Amino acid sequence: MHDGSLKTLEEVVEFYDKGGLPNKNLDEKITKLNLTDAQKKDLVEFLKALDGTSLKVAAPATFPL
C-alpha cells in the first residue's frame, strides 16, 4: 500500500475485500466485496499483468486544408 503497511498485492486485495478499515472518513460506498479465493487470485494476476509498458501508436497523417 502507499504507506508501506501492506507489502503484497495479495494483502491489498484482502484489505479491500474486507471493506478497508472502519473510520470516520470511510466513504459509505466502500463495502465488503466478498470475493471468492479464485476471484482474489484472478485479480492479483490481472494486476501483476499491468506492467506499465506503453504502446507506441503512430500519429495519424494530416490532410492539407
How does residue 33 score in pLDDT terms, banded at 50, 70 and 90? very high
pLDDT of residue 42: 98
Q: What is the mean pLDDT of the chain?
A: 90
Average pLDDT over residues 38-59: 90
Domain boundaries, given as residue ranges, for the chain: 9-22+29-49
pTM exceeds 0.75 for this model: no
Average pLDDT over residues 2-25: 93
pLDDT of residue 64: 67
Proportion of the chain above pLDDT 70, given as a percent = 97
Closest CA to 41 of 14, 2, 1: 14
Alpha carbons 59 and 36: distance in angstroms, whole number: 43
Alpha carbons 15 and 38: distance in angstroms, whole number: 16
